[in-house]
């Protein structure tokens, strides 16, 4: 009976945490929805700046002028609310963690959020201008570049996600070192393969020009080096002896 009560109490707490996370996204959305068109205009600025004279974006679907800014605002609301959403995740799992795990997990949640934001900012301010300038410059003669607003939104959201995830490399390395999957010494030995790999990823995620591929590959390489340095302090051997017999119950 006690186990059943514990299970029910955990499920109730999980429900409350999920509801709080969803309400935070909704609250941000309600604050931003009035500015939906302005937000889309700001998102489209890197493309609009390189479109040919008298060219503009188009809407091929009747509802696109409404749904595209609405969708952008909803996704942006989630991105802005990520810190609070992750806090709810932390508050739910923290009572079952060891003290050494608590010392690692919370900084990782914060740093992973900042790195994800940094990846999105890098994509918007560095990659987008170069990529869209390249795309518009290679249009065949007689072809007018007029991008559909929904297609453009889907494209940039994919790039935002790709760059945001790519910037999580240090977090992934730290977790692998901490769990004993690998260690800093092994990763250093694989450095030549990593360098080739990041340039291949840069080629796949960016337009086919050397500049934008390099602009993604070099930060990924640098982030790999940072992850290796920091991961050396979180190897499994460094923390295995510090584990306590029971999970910590303090927050």
Tell me whether residue 246 is in a domain.
no
Distance in angstroms (rounded) separating the CA atoms of residues 137 and 196: 28
Tell me whether residue 205 is in a domain.
yes
Kindly state the tokens that stand for 108: 């990782």
Please enumerate in sequence order all residues whose Cβ is within 8 A of that of 162, keeping only pairs 6 or more positions apart, or say none. Answer: 123, 205
Q: What is the pLDDT of residues 96-136, one digit of tens each?
A: 777 777 777 778 888 889 999 999 999 899 888 888 887 78
Distance in angstroms (rounded) separating the CA atoms of residues 83 and 177: 25
Tell me whether residue 193 is in a domain.
yes
Distance in angstroms (rounded) separating the CA atoms of residues 180 and 234: 9
Give residue 53's domain range. Answer: 3-139+147-239
Residue 142 Rama label (left phi>0; alpha psi -120 to 50; beta): left
DSSP code, position 49: T
Q: What is the pLDDT of residues 133-160, one digit of tens each?
A: 877 877 777 777 788 899 999 989 988 8
Distance in angstroms (rounded) separating the CA atoms of residues 47 and 133: 8
**C-alpha 177: how far from its chain's center?**
21
pTM for this prediction: 0.80
**pLDDT(246) > 70:** no
Reference 132, options 219, 209, 53, 201; nearest CA is 209
Q: What is the pLDDT of residues 83-92, one digit of tens each?
A: 898 888 888 8
Tell me whether residue 249 is in a domain.
no
Distance in angstroms (rounded) separating the CA atoms of residues 176 and 181: 5
Report the number of distinct structural domains present in the chain. Answer: 1
Tell me whether residue 244 is in a domain.
no
Tell me whether residue 250 is in a domain.
no
Handedness of CA 200, 202, 204, 209 (dihedral sign): negative
Reference 170, options 107, 215, 127; nearest CA is 107
């Amino acid at each position: 009976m006690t186990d059943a009560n514990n299970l029910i109490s955990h499920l109730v707490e999980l429900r409350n945490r999920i509801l709080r996370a969803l309400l935070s996204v909704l609250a941000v959305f309600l604050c931003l929805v009035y500015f939906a068109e302005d937000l889309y205009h700001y998102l489209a600025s890197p493309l609009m700046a390189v479109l040919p004279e008298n060219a503009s974006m188009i809407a091929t679907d009747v509802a696109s002028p409404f749904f595209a800014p609405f969708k952008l605002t909803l996704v942006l609301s989630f991105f802005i609310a990520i810190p609070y959403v992750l806090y709810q995740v932390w508050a739910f799992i923290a009572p079952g963690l060891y003290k050494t795990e608590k010392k690692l997990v919370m900084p990782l949640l914060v740093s992973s959020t900042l790195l994800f934001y940094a990846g999105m900012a890098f994509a918007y301010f560095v990659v987008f201008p170069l990529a869209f300038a390249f795309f518009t410059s290679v249009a065949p003669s007689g072809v007018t570049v007029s991008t559909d607003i929904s297609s453009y939104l889907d494209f940039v959201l994919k790039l935002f996600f790709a760059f945001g995830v790519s910037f999580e490399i240090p977090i992934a390395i730290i977790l692998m070192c901490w769990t004993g999957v690998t260690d800093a010494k092994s990763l250093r030995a694989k450095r030549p393969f990593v360098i080739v790999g990041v340039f291949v990823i840069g080629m796949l995620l960016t337009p086919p020009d050397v500049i934008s591929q390099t602009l993604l590959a070099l930060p990924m390489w640098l982030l790999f080096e940072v992850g290796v340095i920091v991961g050396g302090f979180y190897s499994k051997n460094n923390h295995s002896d510090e584990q306590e017999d029971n999970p910590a119950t303090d927050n």
